[in-house]
Every structure is written in structure tokens, then in C-alpha cells.
Amino acid sequence: MIMEAVFHTDEEYREILQRLEELMKEAEQLPYPNVKELVTSILQYFDLIHREPLARLMKTIESNQPELKASLENDDTVKTLFSLYDLMEGDIESSPLDNPKTMGFVPVAEVGLLSKPLKREREE
């Protein structure tokens, strides 16, 4: 069963993913090391705030509604989201930017609380 679009069609969703991939590639090419570090940190924190609740949702679904997981796997947008967080098998992996065939999200090994927050340089 494919779910109905709420905000975007499947085609629009694929276009959004493509644009995100383009932006990620642009960010990787920035000549400013501090900006690259900032972008990476932002992505790590976005990953953190999404990965834990999504993993909990998936655990609950698998425990209480296994048939729902099968249904969700048939929806490309849901499958894409869960595959980004290694919760479903999918076409997109959460691998580093150096693999041009993937979206370039934060590798699982790099997810975790940052040991040292970025320090802002004061402008005087």
C-alpha cells in the first residue's frame, strides 16, 4: 500500500533529495575550513536529534505492528528516510561525501555527541 502525499508528491520528494545532494556537494567544496566544520557539526546534530526518535519509532513498530513496517517499506519516501538512519534497507546510505553514489549524510561512525563544541570567534 503506497501512502498518499501529504505535502509533496513522490516526484517532488525526489527533486528535494536531488537538491539536497547538490547542496551537500557545494558545501563540501567550500574553501573555508571553519564553514565546512560548522556545516558538518550542524549535520551531526541534525542526525542526532532525528536518529534516536526514529530508532525508537522503528523499534516500537517492529515490536507492536510488524505488518506496518512491511507497509512502510513500500513507500519510497518513508523508506528513504529510514534508510538514511540505517533503520531500513534502501537505495540511499548514510555514508560519507566521498562516495558520489550516495546522499552524503553523516556516517554512523561520526554520530555522537561532539566532544568539543565549535567555538565562535569574536569579532572586535
How confident is the model at residue 57, as a pLDDT? 94
Tens digit of each residue's pLDDT (9 = 90 or more) over 10-44:
899 889 888 988 888 888 888 888 888 888 888 88
- Amino acid of residue 117: P
Residue ranges of the domains in the chain?
A: 10-105
How confident is the model at residue 60, as a pLDDT? 95
Backbone angles phi, psi at 106, to 5 degrees: -65, 125
Q: What is the Cβ-side half-sphere exposure of residue 91, based on CA atoms within 13 angstroms?
A: 9
Report the distance separating Cα 92 and Cα 38, nearest Å.
24
Distance of CA 21 to the CA centre of its chain: 11
The reported pTM is 0.63
Report the distance separating Cα 44 and Cα 48, nearest Å.
6
- Amino acid of residue 106: V
How confident is the model at residue 34, as a pLDDT? 84
Report the distance separating Cα 103 and Cα 78, nearest Å.
16
How confident is the model at residue 114, as a pLDDT? 47
- Amino acid of residue 81: L
Report the distance separating Cα 75 and Cα 96, nearest Å.
25
How confident is the model at residue 56, as a pLDDT? 95
How confident is the model at residue 63, as a pLDDT? 95
**Tens of each residue's pLDDT in the chain, 124 residues:** 567 778 888 899 889 888 988 888 888 888 888 888 888 888 889 888 999 999 999 999 999 999 999 899 999 889 989 998 889 887 764 444 444 433 445 555 554 544 444 444 444 4
Report the distance separating Cα 111 and Cα 107, nearest Å.
7
Contacts of 42 (CB under 8 A, 6+ apart): none
Report the distance separating Cα 7 and Cα 70, nearest Å.
23
